[in-house]
Amino acid sequence: MQEDNREITIIGFGGSLRKGSYNRMLLKDVQRLMPENSILEITDISKIPIYNEDADNENNINIVNFRESIKRADGFIIATPEYNYSIPGFLKNAIDSVSKPADKNPFAGKPGVIMSASMGMLGGSRAQYHLRQVLTCLDARLINRPEVFINFAPKKFDENGHLTDEMAVKFILELLNKLIQEIRLERSVQIKI
Ligand SMILES: Cc1cc2nc3c(=O)[nH]c(=O)nc-3n(C[C@H](O)[C@H](O)[C@H](O)COP(=O)(O)O)c2cc1C
């Protein structure tokens, strides 16, 4: 099978809007952990307006840029907080905003992974399962395991924002490698065809 070693670009988003967000810290640390020949670009979703189906969403620059950044990327990573056992409204809003019209849904067929950090014991697991449900509706190709839940987040990062939990780092590396492998496999199949 022919190898395709071109660099892989992953788009990352999520976090929360607050300055000290552990989920943003997690995304930034994942940039350091990306496998060889792959990069993670983090995109800002804070400027996406509250979705209104009557608005001219297809020409809103923040929505257009977000959609295009997902389309251009080979895959995506979402790091989400858990708000009241679910996905934070701003993240769901951003995803909804690019999901319509359906033929422009950038998640369709796109490989991706999700992770979460929370101050609580369950590490944001309930938000992740809701997010999986939403991304399944949008036909994203999620790599399901290992699941990455960073619980008790304030205790899991050092002063440089690096994860100190070895098990969490191990799971993240495993998940990232599976994502990159999936993308490389897909590319090699395309070359064959
Ligand atoms: C509105 C709100 C609801 C929350 N609900 C939950 C929750 O259901 N489960 C949980 O583990 N943490 C919950 N938290 C705490 C968050 O996990 C914590 O604030 C976390 O640090 C948020 O992520 P961030 O650091 O990226 O901002 C909630 C926080 C807020 C502000």
Query: How high does pLDDT run on average in the chain?
Result: 96
Determine whether the shortest distance from the Cβ of 119 to ligand 1 is under 6 A. Answer: yes
Question: What digits encode the pLDDT tens for the residues 150-173?
Answer: 999 999 999 999 999 999 999 999
pLDDT of residue 189: 84
* pLDDT of 190 over the 90 cut: no
Q: Whose CA is nearest to atom 17 of ligand 1?
A: 118
Q: Structural domains in the chain?
A: 8-184 (3.40.50.360)
Handedness of CA 84, 89, 94, 95 (dihedral sign): positive
Question: What digits encode the pLDDT tens for the residues 134-155?
Answer: 999 999 999 999 999 999 999 9
Q: Whose CA is nearest to atom 4 of ligand 1?
A: 83
Which backbone phi and psi does 169 adopt, to 5 degrees?
A: -60, -40
Rounded Cα gap, residues 77 and 90, in angstroms: 16
pLDDT category at 193 given cuts 50, 70, 90 is low
Q: Whose CA is nearest to atom 22 of ligand 1?
A: 81
Determine whether the shortest distance from the Cβ of 15 to ligand 1 is under 6 A. Answer: yes
Question: What digits encode the pLDDT tens for the residues 57-91?
Answer: 999 999 999 999 999 999 999 999 999 999 999 99
pLDDT category at 5 given cuts 50, 70, 90 is confident
Phi-psi region of 118 (alpha: psi -120 to 50; beta: other; left: phi over 0): beta
Rounded Cα gap, residues 130 and 61, in angstroms: 28
Hey, what are 22's tokens?
A: 């552990």
Which backbone phi and psi does 59 adopt, to 5 degrees?
A: -115, 5
Rounded Cα gap, residues 46 and 128, in angstroms: 20
Full-model pTM = 0.96
Determine whether the shortest distance from the Cβ of 123 to ligand 1 is under 6 A. Answer: no
Which residues on adjacent β-strands are paired with residue 157? 163
Which residues on adjacent β-strands are paired with residue 111? 141
